[in-house]
């Protein structure tokens, strides 16, 4: 089933990337394969969603994209993923998800987000059926980030 949250998540991601990372060339494409975690090494961050909608969004940050994002945010060079880099990526995912929840509240959909949770490199393999499942790849000049949106109505 098509996810009605695709556009709000893309718009929020685009806005946060523009504001926090000064990126302007941002596009998207739907992900056809749900198993994006099988690609190159990624940092996977899950944001739980509770309220009128329940489920999660998983952000898949490739290593090189992650390092470049944190370099832009902090002005510091990183060669490896450490706690600082992971924390910064969690905050980006948190801000994007919070912006989506604000957008939904205007539409009278009451939801909240849970704290970011770092998943192991392979991501979450739990098989649960959800009403709304979709994925997108956000493409920028510094690399791409994949999002999996997996939700049920309450």
Q: pLDDT 10s digit of each residue in the chain, 154 long? A: 456 788 999 999 999 999 999 999 999 998 875 544 445 688 999 999 999 999 999 999 999 999 999 999 999 999 999 999 999 999 999 999 999 999 999 999 999 999 999 987 554 545 667 787 889 999 999 999 999 999 988 8
**pTM to 2 decimal places:** 0.89
Distances (CA, A) of 96 to 1, 9, 11: 23, 7, 9
How far apart CA 133 and CA 14 sit, in angstroms, is 20
How far apart CA 37 and CA 57 sit, in angstroms, is 14
Tokens coding 142: 């510094």
* Residues whose CB is less than 8 angstroms from the CB of residue 30 and which lie 6 or more positions away in sequence, other chains included: 6, 134, 135, 136, 137
Specify the residue for token string 């510091």. Answer: 76
Q: Is the CATH code 3.40.1550.10 the one for domain 6-32+41-153?
A: yes
């Amino acid at each position: 089933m098509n996810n009605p949250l695709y556009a709000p998540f893309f718009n929020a991601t685009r806005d946060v990337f523009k504001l926090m990372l000064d990126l302007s060339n941002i596009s998207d494409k739907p992900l056809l394969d749900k198993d994006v975690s099988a690609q190159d090494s990624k940092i996977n961050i899950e944001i739980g969603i509770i309220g009128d909608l329940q489920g999660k969004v998983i952000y898949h940050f490739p290593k090189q994209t992650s390092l470049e994002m944190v370099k832009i945010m902090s002005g510091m060079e990183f060669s490896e993923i450490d706690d600082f880099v992971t924390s910064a990526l969690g905050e980006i995912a948190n801000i994007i998800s919070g912006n989506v929840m604000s957008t939904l509240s205007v539409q009278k959909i009451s939801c909240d987000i849970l704290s970011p949770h770092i998943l192991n490199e392979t991501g979450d393999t739990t098989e649960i059926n959800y009403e709304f499942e979709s994925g997108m790849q956000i493409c920028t000049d510094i690399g791409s980030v994949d999002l999996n949106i997996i939700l049920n109505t309450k």
